[in-house]
Amino acid sequence: METVSTWKACGGTQGVYRHASSATGTDMTFAVYVPPHEKGAKLPVLWYLSGLTCTHANVMEKGEYRAACAEKGIIFVAPDTSPRGEGVPDKDQYDLGTGASFYVDATEAPWSKHYRMRTYIEEELPELLAEIFPVDMRRQSIMGHSMGGHGALTVGLRNTARYRSISAFSPIVSPLACPWGQAALSLYLGENEANWRDYDACMLIADGARHEHLRVDQGSADEFLEEQLKTGVLRDVCKELGQPLELNLHAGYDHSYYFISTFMADHVHWHADRLGA
């Protein structure tokens, strides 16, 4: 693993790192904030998955999580959103290809060679973190924004025993039911929608996935709310099937990091309570 850069922040260390990924067959870059801690301590970890067009840098530079993580003693991990580099297939549009992996393991050529972000997030990167950083892998939570909110919901609901809590800002709650999701999943997974269910939070809940601590925050002025995000679909599925959901609607907030940064500390504290931090 290569250390790209480090900065002192809120008493801890904000770092950016790069490694050769066996899952994606590319170099992958990710950010980790390690708060101040006693030597030998093992700390809980909070994962953050970013949205369309983003990298690790968006939340690192605009998310305003470090003070809350330093206060609660939580390691904050922000992976990239997709593989990048020479030979990685791409589309000349923001919602497909590089920056738009939808956190799937693609099965369709040419995407299947490199677009294996499910394996990267669920298996490879956690193993690397456990080797390098002072993480307590028994205490993990996950969150994300937009496409990354979709990622956090689906990764969390597929691995309910691993994560103490799951939250999302403005998530795509049902890719099967929105244009972004339909375009991406058909491209990466083929046209058989039965193969998409593992990547749709509402379908995972319909198929039996349950988690005690699930939270979504959504702005009422989000320009993508009705066509792409469809928060009401998740609300209705959870109500019908008995899945607990803390849904917070915020008047006047949009899809941007102005919204995320406003409520980021609240999310960190919410996860901290469930992580025992």
Q: Among all residues, which ones are annotated catalytic?
A: 146, 222, 255
3-state DSSP call for residue 6?
strand
70/65 Cα distance (integer angstroms): 9
Q: Using an 8 Å Cβ cutoff, are 132 and 186 in contact?
A: no
Nearest Cα residue to 27 out of 97, 69, 86: 86
| Residue 59 vs residues 22, 39, 47, 126: alpha-carbon distances, Å | 25, 27, 11, 19
Q: What residues have CB less than 8 Å from 81, skipping those under 6 apart? A: 49, 50, 51, 52, 53, 54, 55, 99, 100, 101, 117, 147, 148
Cα dihedral across residues 214, 219, 220, 222: positive or negative: negative
**DSSP code of residue 97:** B
